[in-house]
């Protein structure tokens, strides 16, 4: 059984990599279009920064490091996070802020964790030459000079002292709702075939359209969930709902997923549901939503959500032949 699960997750991860490559390819085609600045209309206030500020404080670090080395055109000037234009925007996009880019071991959860520099990806990025790729130390080695030892020590000391805001307050642990990965896999339980949800198996060959499933076949729907406070086995609800309407799941078919842990060397966690397609409706599009709760929030987390573009909803859909 473990061998089968291991094979499934290996193929699951392979599929996720393909999806990421597809999305990256799409982004490359739009690389010449400058995205809207999400911070352009935010009022960060006018709190003055003392020119004699403690170099180990947020005000001092912003004045001496972030403002001069990071908030420069083409870098962290508000076009993307972290936003280092002001001490306030730096704090808001650093402390207990979920990361977007992680290392292969997925070591980090937040850009800055108060009192813990070794768990803060900011400290890792300014000290490690090769966080993900060669020479990706920040500020990047290939476009500038790395921070001095004194600057690195200032940032480390600020984190060790609680990563306080400009008024001297320490942030409270956020305990965010669970995060459901936008990727999933559908694996043939007998052959481990994973191309059901691939670009080549989408209606009309459009990669975000529903994928096709064969009749009378056992398939495994696999979903990845992350939470900052609740251990994987303690996550609640864990339901996949199926509807014929992309925005109405009030009368949906509800399937309960099981927690699956894959031991090393493929160690990972996910929720899986084995379904025989003979039990599902044929000849129409079936929309999926995954629901989970960490036990700390009154509302379940779900994905996709009503407010997402239709492409997400059709991507999370299938059609049984």
**Measured between alpha carbons, how far is residue 53 from residues 58, 120, 283 in Å?**
9, 23, 68
Mean pLDDT of 128-137: 82
Mean pLDDT value of segment 189-194: 80
Q: In what order do the strands lie in the sheet with 268-276?
A: 179-188, 218-226, 268-276, 258-262
CATH architecture group of domain 2-29+176-320? Sandwich (2.60)
Residue 22 confidence (pLDDT): 33
Q: Taking phi first (over 0 means left), then psi (-120 to 50 degrees means alpha), and beta for anything else, what does residue 264 get? A: beta
- Beta-carbon contacts of 21 under 8 Å, excluding residues fewer than 6 positions away, are none
What residues does each domain of the chain span?
2-29+176-320, 58-160
Given a cut of 60, is residue 20 above it in pLDDT? no
Q: Residues 212-239: pLDDT tens digits? A: 999 999 999 999 998 888 999 999 999 9
Q: Are residues 82 and 97 in contact, defined by beta-carbon separation less than 8 angstroms? A: yes
Tell me, what's the pLDDT at 47? 52
- pLDDT of residue 6 exceeding 50: no
Q: Which residue, chain included where needed, has tokens 């994905």?
A: 303
Please tell me the predicted confidence (pLDDT) of residue 142: 61
pLDDT at residue 238, as a whole number: 96
Alpha helices, H only, the chain: 2-29, 58-61, 87-92, 121-127, 149-160, 310-315
Please name which of 279, 274, 288, 273 lies closest in space to residue 215, comparing C-alpha atoms. 279
Distance CA 281, CA 150 (A): 65
* pLDDT for 14 beyond 90: no
Is 74 buried (19+), middle (13-18) or exposed (0-12) by CB count in 10 A?
exposed
Please give the pLDDT value at position 109: 87
User: Is 60 exceeded by the pLDDT of residue 27?
Assistant: no
The per-residue pLDDT for 139 is: 85
What pLDDT, in 10s, does the model give residues 310-319? Answer: 999 999 999 9
Query: Of 34-48, 97-111, 214-228, 231-245, which range is least confident?
Result: 34-48
* Longest distance between any two alpha carbons in the chain, whole Å: 73
Query: If pLDDT is split at 50, 70 and 90, which confidence band does 36 have?
Result: low
pLDDT at 53 over 50: yes
What is the arithmetic mean of pLDDT over 11-22? 39
Q: Which residue has the higher pLDDT, 50 or 103?
A: 103
Instruction: Calculate Rg over the CA atoms of the chain.
Output: 23
Q: Which residues of 8-23 are buried (b: 16+ CB within 10 A; e: fewer)?
A: bbbbbbebbebbeeee
pLDDT given for residue 158 in this prediction:
97
**Omega before residue 304 within 30° of 0, cis:** yes
Q: Is residue 241 pLDDT above 70, yes or no?
A: yes
Note the pLDDT tens digit of each residue in 143-190: 667 889 999 999 999 999 999 999 999 998 888 899 898 888 888 888
Q: How does residue 266 score in pLDDT terms, banded at 50, 70 and 90?
A: confident
Q: How far apart are CA 242 and CA 313, in angstroms?
A: 12
- Whole-model pTM: value is 0.63
Q: Report whether 70 contacts 93 (CB < 8 A).
A: no
Q: What is the pLDDT of residues 271-294, one digit of tens each?
A: 999 999 999 999 999 999 999 999
Q: Is 53 helix (H, G, I), strand (E, B) or coil?
A: coil
Cβ atoms within 10 Å of 191's Cβ, excluding its own: 8
Neighbours of 61 (CB within 10 A): 23
């Amino acid at each position: 059984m473990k061998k089968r699960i291991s094979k499934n997750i290996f193929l699951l991860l392979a599929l996720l990599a393909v999806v990421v490559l597809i999305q990256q390819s799409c982004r490359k085609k739009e690389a010449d279009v400058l995205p809207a600045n999400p911070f352009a209309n935010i009022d960060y206030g006018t709190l003055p920064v003392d020119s004699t500020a403690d170099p180990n404080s947020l005000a001092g670090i912003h004045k001496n490091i972030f403002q001069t080395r990071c908030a420069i055109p083409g870098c962290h000037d508000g076009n993307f996070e972290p936003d280092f234009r002001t001490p306030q925007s730096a704090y808001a996009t650093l402390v207990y802020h979920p990361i977007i880019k992680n290392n292969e071991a997925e070591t980090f959860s937040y850009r800055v964790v108060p009192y813990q520099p070794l768990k803060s990806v900011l400290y890792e990025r300014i000290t490690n030459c090769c966080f993900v790729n060669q020479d990706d130390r920040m500020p990047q080695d290939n476009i500038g000079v790395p921070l001095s030892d004194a600057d690195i020590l200032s940032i480390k000391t600020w984190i060790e002292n609680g990563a306080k805001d400009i008024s001297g307050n320490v942030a409270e642990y956020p305990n965010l709702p669970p995060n459901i990965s936008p990727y999933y896999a559908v694996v043939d339980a007998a052959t481990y075939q994973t191309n059901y949800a691939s670009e080549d198996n989408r209606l009309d060959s459009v990669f975000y359209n529903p994928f096709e499933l064969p009749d009378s076949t056992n398939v495994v729907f696999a979903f990845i969930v992350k939470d900052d406070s609740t251990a994987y086995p303690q996550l609640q609800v864990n339901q996949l709902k199926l509807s014929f309407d992309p925005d109405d799941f009030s009368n949906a078919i509800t399937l309960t997923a099981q927690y699956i842990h894959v031991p090393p060397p493929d160690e990972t966690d996910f929720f899986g549901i084995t379904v025989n397609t003979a039990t599902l409706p044929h000849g129409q599009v079936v929309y999926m939503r995954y629901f989970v709760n960490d036990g700390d929030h009154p509302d379940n987390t779900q994905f996709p959500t009503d407010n997402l573009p239709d492409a997400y909803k059709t991507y999370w859909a299938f059609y049984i032949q």
